[in-house]
Structure 1
Amino acid sequence: METKNVKVEVADPTTLGLFGLAIVTLVASSQKLGWTSGLSYLLPWAIFLGGMAQLIASVFDFKHKNLFGATAFSAYGLFWIGMAMGWLIKLGCFGETLASEIDTRQLGFVFLGYMILSIVLTISGLKMSKVMFFLLFLIVMLFLGLSLDSFGFGAIWHSVAAYSELIISITTFYALS
């Protein structure tokens, strides 16, 4: 019996992953900047575009043997799903007991871990385009701001995170072109 290998071609998933990032950071930054309020309409975009679209892009980047894209899209996709779960807890969707036991410093450590990952990806991004390097630098700034804000270092860090996130969205839309 002869074994036959069939190669399935798939399109480059980068555009899907970047579009997910652009939309979710635009909506999230609007909330951080005070242009919108609440989390209810942020949740679907975090779950579907921030989370699922980036995870789908990750799977296809693995098929393309693009370790950088696969790692970035899977890590950030899981981040957005985790954030959505955290917001659901905060909103009391899993009960008041869980909502009342929130310690934002735990989230600060998550942000710190993602900042470290983002620094590693930024160093790898030096080999890529200037736009990708700038985007990753902004993501580092976002996680720095989020970390320090979660640890209570002052409102300025919330602003750093908010404006970094808005510029991430704009830069990502530019990167789509």
Structure 2
Amino acid sequence: MSMSTHDSQKVSISVADPSALGLLGLAMVTFVASSQKLGWTVGLSFVIPWAIFLGAFAQLIACLYDFKHNNIFGATAFGGYAFFWFGVASSWLIKLGAFGPALAAATDVRQLGFAFLGYLIFSLFMTIGAIETNKVLLSIFLLIDVLLAALAADAFGLSHSAHTIAAWTELAIALFSFYGSGAVVLNTHFGRTFLPTGKPLGIFK
């Protein structure tokens, strides 16, 4: 007599929280980019690598691992802003003539204005979701809203102060993101609240 058994196993692969890497990427690109907007540094040539590798690729990696975490909010946020920085870096390369003089001569900054407006719409509904994360993340999203609104206004030539507002807001995003990244790493590493991030507001949950 023969007996056959059918055993099924589920293998769970543990994946660490990728938000520390994603926030570091956001922190680094906004830190470097804000230095140019504030006039502390000159030119975009050395901003572009940080936009591509930290702003774009680091956040894209965080996005992919957040999908593995089944974290739709984190994955969409990191993925969305990763491609934002791919787009911004490509726009800078076109402006600087990296793809030839014909493309550089045909640029219309108002198209960037529409891109910033589109991302502002995206950022606004992500900000609603951030209300139920923690206060550090909520602060970052609120600052991103201000940044995108200021960048759009500057691109459309609607405000003389928009560029300055964008510059200081971008620097604030960098500082909050550094703190958020450090909080994720150290709170997880020590198994306790080493750097507080603030409880969710609890409006929608």
Instruction: Give the TM interval when normalised to the shorter protein.
Output: over 0.9
Query: Does 2:98 correspond to 1:97?
Result: no
Q: Tell me the distance in 2 between the aligned counterparts of 1:45 and 1:118.
A: 22
Identity percentage of aligned residues: 54
Superposed CA deviations along residues 81-122 of structure 1, whole A, max 9, x for unmatched, are: 111111110110111000000000000000001111111011
What does 1:33-112 correspond to in 2, within 5 Å? 33-112=38-117
Matching residue within 127, 146, 151 for 1:146? 151
Unmatched runs of 5 consecutive residues or more in structure 1: none
Larger radius of gyration: 2
Number of matched pairs: 177
Post-superposition CA distance 1:110-141 (Å, at most 9, x none): 00011111110111111121111111000000
* Secondary structure in 2 matching 1:155: coil
- Aligned partner of 1:155 among 144, 147, 160: 160
1:131 matched to 2:136? The reply is yes
Higher helix share: 1
TM-score (ref. length: structure 2): 0.84
Q: Could you state the TM-score of these two structures normalised by the residue count of structure 1? A: 0.97
Q: Does 1:21 align with 2:26?
A: yes
Q: CA RMSD in A?
A: 1.1
**C-alpha separation between the residues in 1 aligned to 2:69 and 2:52?**
24
Render the CA deviation track for 1:20-42: whole Å, top value 9, x for unaligned: 00000000000010101111110
Q: 2:120 aligns with which of 97, 103, 115?
A: 115
- Paired AA for residue 173 in structure 1: F
5+ unaligned residues in a row in structure 2: which ranges? 1-5, 184-205
